Amino acid sequence: MALIELEHIVKTYDLGLSKVPALRDIHLQIDRGEFVAIVGQSGSGKSTLMNIIGCLDVPTAGRYRLSGRDVSELSDDELADVRNLEIGFVFQSFQLMPRASALENVELPLIYRGVSKKERRARAQGALDLVGLADRMTHKPAELSGGQRQRVAIARALVTQPSLLLADEPTGNLDSKTGEEIVGLFHDLHGRKNTIVLVTHEPKLAARCPRAVRLVDGLVIADGPGVKVAMGNAEALGAEAVAQLLAAQAATVQR
């Protein structure tokens, strides 16, 4: 069953004088249990797509169904609940609360779900244990290494048992060795039946994912096995998508 269904998703940023299209016409379907990389150069619209998938933003047009529910026209509060219940975020810059301990950081999303203090603690401990930080629970983010911070962030994303783990350049701020460990952790989580969407600009990361989607100028131009998409293999590029892209570019030039 499809977890994410994106149909004709358009996102246009209104900058007053001009309208900038970030996403032109995105069709995408991601099933439960998949591990999908979204790759693209900066400006390709992959961050916008991630924000929409993560319900941090709503599309200008088109329909987005998450777990079968149309979320493209939900209110702000409803989106907040969806984020809390369905999505676990992992950011490039970790985005941990600087004044809170690792444990308190992981407990935070459970507060917004009305989980009792005792249960919050137990679940947060379980999540930290899962990412291998059982001995760092009382440390503040400043007392942890970059890799450890990202593990805390992953634990925080997992603790709510989300339908979807959404990671935005999770290795961007880490050295290659630590980055490798984090990627390994994601693959491990995928093995435990988590659905993961990984946004990255690194072909090497995408190549290791079972499936990758390449974005160029707000359009999906390739969708297929990670290795092929990452290599830019022509077979992976859908002919229809390329035609669409060319037409869109032509239209922009004419305008």
Partner 1 sequence: MTESALSIPLAMKPRDLGFFRKVLRFFAELREAIVQAAISIASHKLRAALTITGISIGIMTVITIFMVESGMQASFARQLNSLGPNTLYVHKWKWGVGGNDWWKYKNRPVVTQLDWRALQKNATWPVAIAPSTNTTAVVGIPGQGDKDLKSVNVVGTTEAFLDAGSWQLKRGRFISDLDHELGTDACVIGADLEDAFFKNGDPLGQALKVGPMARCTVVGTLMRKGNAFGQSQDLRLVMPLSSFLRSFGSKRGLVIAVVAPAGKVMETEDEIISVLRNSRRLGPEQEDTFSVNRQDKILQGFNQMMMATNVVGILVGIITAIVAGIGIMNILLVSVKERTREIGIRRALGARRMTILMQFLCEAIMVAAVGGALGIALGAGGAALIDILSPMPAAIDPRVVVGGVVGSAVLGAIFGLWPALTAAFLHPIEALRYE
Give the residues lining the site for partner 1 (CB under 8 A): 51, 54, 56-57, 67, 69, 76-77, 80-81, 83-86, 89, 91, 95-97, 99, 108-109, 111-117, 122-123, 125-127, 129-130, 132, 156, 158-161, 163, 192
* Nearer of residues 192 and 255 to partner 1, judged by Cβ: 192
Least distance (Å) from partner 1 to the CB of residue 132?
7
**Minimal distance in Å, beta carbon 228 to partner 1?**
32
Q: Rank residues 80 and 207 by Cβ distance to partner 1 and give the closer one.
A: 80
CB of 29 to partner 1, least distance (A): 20
CA pair distance 151, 132, nearest whole angstrom: 8
Helices 146-158, 102-111: axis angle to 10 degrees equals: 20
What DSSP designation does 100 have? S
Q: Which is nearer to partner 1, 158 or 229 (CB)?
A: 158
Q: Which residue number, 115 or 196, has a Cβ lying nearer to partner 1?
A: 115
Report the Cα–Cα distance between both ends of the chain, in Å, rounded: 40
Give the sheet arrangement for strand 2-14, strand by strand.
Answer: 19-31, 2-14, 61-66, 69-70
Cα distances (angstroms) measured from residue 129 to each of 134, 137, 145, 226, 239: 4, 9, 17, 30, 46
